[in-house]
Every structure is written in structure tokens, then in C-alpha cells.
Amino acid sequence: MNIYGMAKSYVNLKGSKCRGFELDFLRLALAKQRDRDCAGAYLCAPLPKKCGDSIVAEWNEKYGADVHFVPAELTEEEMNLLRAEKERDRFGNRAKGDGVSASASYGEKLIERKLGEWLRGNHEGINSSPGTPPPILPGIRWDYFGTI
């Protein structure tokens, strides 16, 4: 049985971030629909559980899907570092010219790690390095793929 996950380092869903979050939701919904061996599809972000659950429940109803929200529970230090990265990226993307490149690598890796930890803690016997996912959605880079 396959487990799919997408992780977003958004600290809020303002502007176009909500569309990106919904796009990953739809990728997961399609994976769940197309893969007969799918045991679960999970969307993770550092949003409050109530907020994430509400948004995902609304989309599940709207699209007839079965995707689950996983809150990335961050320490105060992790959240401060993530916010600092977002602030650097915001200014880096404006061609500030200070040599600092805009890259969300800390946040991406952090939330992917949190998703993996949550899945391993909630799915007994999960194998998080099973190889290549089935080609149900060619070209999609899953932030997490595992088997149970």
C-alpha cells in the first residue's frame, strides 16, 4: 500500500500561496483516486491544525476527495528560522543585489522532515525509501512517498 505526501513551508495562505496549496491538494487527490494501492494522501504545512483541517475538509467536500492535513508542529526556534527565510526570500526576489539568493531550502527540508516523522509515527511499518512511486501522475515530485 502506497502513501503520498506533499509539504509546503507556507506560514500563511495569503495571495497565491493558497493556489499552490490547493494545487498540491489536487495532486494528492488524483494520486488517491488513480492508485488502487493508495493507503493515504497527506498535505503538510506549518499552519494551525484547526485552520488546515478546515481548508482540507472544504476541498475534500468540493472535489469528492480523501486527503488528510498534517500540521507541521515547529519549535519556536524552527518557526523563527522559517520566518526569517521567508523574509529573506521576499527581499531576494526583488533583485535587491546584495548577493543573497532567494531559496526556500530550509523550509522545504524542514516541513518534509516533519511530514516524514508524523507519517512514521502514525503508520506502523512504513517504509520511507521504497523506490520510485508508480507513474500515476508523471512528472510530479512527491515530497514524501512510502509503502506499508
| pLDDT score of 121 more than 70 | yes
Least confident interval from 13-27, 67-81, 109-123 = 13-27
As a residue count, the chain comes to 148
Please name the residue that has the C-alpha cell 467536500.
Answer: 61
Global pTM value: 0.83
Q: Which 3 state secondary structure label does DSSP give 99?
A: coil
| pLDDT score of 144 more than 80 | yes
% pLDDT > 70, the chain: 82
> Looking at per-residue confidence, does 85 or 6 come out higher?
6
What is the structure's pLDDT at 37?
Answer: 93
Asked if 43 and 56 touch (Cβ cutoff 8 Å), the reply is yes
Mean pLDDT of the chain, nearest integer: 84
| pLDDT score of 99 more than 90 | no
What separation, in Å, do the N-terminal and C-terminal C-alpha atoms of the chain show?
A: 5
